[in-house]
């Protein structure tokens, strides 16, 4: 946290202990006790969110690389979608490969997922119940020969003939060969080399953070993806929390919408406080509230009330929604203050007067 200069000047002549006490008081005073932080955060993000446009940005004029922006992307993040609609990665390279385009292209080529069906010409010979595969790729030939029980090779014509007992098995074998991965990282469809500042890096279509980090030439400390669940599964919940903040802020900044970072941080904290990623909707935060009335007020009213009655649940009435429903002051602002009186002491005071 950045401390204002005015605060720094006031603590210059204090002892270490007094300075720590002063800073603790300062940090506590940044928000008033009893402030409705959650409500303010929801309004601060939700209200400008209604002004966002529904659009998609095509990265650097490349049609294959669509980057979701605006409201659809924000909904993806808040709803904690398991996979983004348009997954993409920013892959930074190590010192050796980031300096020249030729070396960066070599890494990009090794990232791209290639299947046997893309480098082989496969023909079905129904009469002889055989597959005729034509390819000049030596790696492809080795993989085909390993996966086949009965084959003959014609090196002069670069063809391999596979035979099966039935046409059904032949069809299954053809599908299996076409789907077999020849090289590259799973789910990485394309890799585009771009210059960022003084170095070359790769924009990848698709996402597989674990697989990409293991590729030679990649700097594993600077690999990013817009797939928040992959970050959670690979790097942990703290990294996922940071990704929620960064991705949300990026979407809002793109449309020049100024939302205080602390509002986004509060949402990210709520989404990840349990140690896993939860959505804000009925299957996540709102649907798992401790208050029966708060859950019922959001969605599926009858279901929540009936379940609570069957399970003998009680409502502590500690939140905003449930207190509004029962018609009593909400525990926010002045509603957080509880005035307590000791009757005996009060009577003694009256006698003295």
**Containing structural domain, residue 166:** 114-183
Number of structural domains (the chain) is 4
- One domain, residues 119 and 178: yes
Angle between helices 228-235 and 237-254 (to 10 degrees): 150
- One domain, residues 255 and 300: no
- One domain, residues 133 and 162: yes
Q: Is there a contact between 143 and 116 (Cβ–Cβ < 8 Å)? A: yes
Q: Which pTM value belongs to this model? A: 0.77
Q: What is the pLDDT along the chain (353 residues), one digit of tens a residue?
A: 556 666 666 667 778 888 888 788 777 767 777 888 888 898 998 888 887 766 555 555 555 566 777 888 888 999 999 889 889 999 999 999 999 999 999 999 999 998 888 888 888 888 787 888 888 877 887 878 777 677 777 777 778 887 777 888 888 888 888 888 888 999 999 899 999 889 999 999 999 999 999 999 999 999 999 999 999 999 999 999 999 999 999 988 888 888 988 899 999 999 999 999 999 887 888 878 888 998 888 888 899 899 999 999 999 898 888 999 999 988 888 888 877 777 776 666 666 65
- One domain, residues 120 and 178: yes
**How far apart, in whole angstroms, are the C-alpha atoms of residue 238 and residue 242?**
6
Whether 325 is in a domain gets the answer yes
| Predicted local distance difference test score (pLDDT) of residue 351 | 60
Whether 93 is in a domain gets the answer no
Whether 102 is in a domain gets the answer no
- One domain, residues 47 and 16: no
| Predicted local distance difference test score (pLDDT) of residue 7 | 62
| Predicted local distance difference test score (pLDDT) of residue 206 | 92
- One domain, residues 53 and 17: no
Of all helices (H) and strands (E), which one includes residue 5? helix 5-10
Whether 188 is in a domain gets the answer no
- One domain, residues 56 and 8: no
- One domain, residues 284 and 294: no
Whether 99 is in a domain gets the answer no
Whether 212 is in a domain gets the answer no
Whether 3 is in a domain gets the answer yes
109 closest CA partner among 99, 97, 120: 97
DSSP string, 154-182: ETTTTEEEEE-SSHHHHHHHHHHHHHSEE
- One domain, residues 24 and 58: no
The CATH number that applies at residue 277 is 1.10.1790
| Predicted local distance difference test score (pLDDT) of residue 90 | 93
| Predicted local distance difference test score (pLDDT) of residue 128 | 80
Whether 65 is in a domain gets the answer yes
The CATH number that applies at residue 295 is 1.10.150.390
- One domain, residues 23 and 63: no
| Predicted local distance difference test score (pLDDT) of residue 247 | 93
Where do the DSSP E strands lie in the chain? 56-58, 66-68, 88-93, 114-115, 121-125, 130-134, 151-154, 159-163, 181-183, 190-196, 199-205, 218-225
């Amino acid at each position: 946290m950045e401390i204002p200069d005015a605060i720094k000047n006031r603590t210059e002549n204090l002892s270490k202990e007094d300075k720590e006490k002063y800073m603790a008081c300062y940090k506590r005073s940044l928000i008033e006790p009893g402030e409705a932080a959650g409500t303010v955060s929801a309004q601060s993000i939700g209200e400008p969110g209604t002004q966002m446009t529904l659009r998609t940005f095509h990265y650097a004029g490349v049609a294959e690389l669509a980057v979701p922006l605006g409201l659809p992307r924000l909904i993806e993040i808040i709803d904690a979608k398991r996979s983004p609609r348009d997954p993409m990665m920013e892959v930074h390279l190590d010192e050796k490969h980031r300096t020249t385009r030729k070396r960066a292209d070599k890494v990009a080529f090794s990232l791209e997922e290639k299947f046997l069906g893309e480098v082989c010409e496969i023909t079905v010979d129904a009469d002889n119940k055989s597959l005729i595969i034509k390819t000049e790729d030596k790696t492809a030939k080795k993989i085909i020969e390993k996966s086949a029980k009965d084959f003959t090779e014609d090196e002069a014509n670069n063809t391999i003939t596979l035979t099966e007992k039935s046409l059904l098995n032949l069809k299954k074998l053809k599908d299996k060969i076409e789907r077999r991965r020849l090289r590259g990282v799973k789910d990485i469809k394309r890799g585009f080399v771009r210059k960022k500042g003084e170095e070359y890096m790769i924009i990848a279509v698709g996402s597989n953070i674990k697989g990409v980090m293991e590729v030679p030439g990649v700097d594993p400390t600077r690999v990013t993806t817009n797939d928040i669940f992959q970050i959670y599964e690979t790097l942990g919940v703290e990294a996922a929390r940071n990704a929620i903040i960064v991705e949300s802020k990026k979407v809002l900044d793109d449309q020049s919408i100024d939302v205080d970072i602390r509002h986004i941080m509060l949402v990210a904290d709520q989404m990840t406080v349990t140690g896993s990623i939860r959505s804000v909707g009925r299957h996540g935060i709102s649907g798992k509230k401790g208050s029966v009335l708060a859950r019922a007020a959001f969605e599926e009213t009858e279901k929540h009330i009936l379940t609570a009655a069957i399970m003998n649940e009680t409502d502590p009435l500690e939140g905003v929604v449930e207190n509004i429903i029962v018609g009593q002051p909400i525990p926010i602002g002045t509603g957080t203050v509880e005035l307590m009186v000791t009757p005996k002491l009060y009577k003694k005071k009256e006698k003295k007067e």
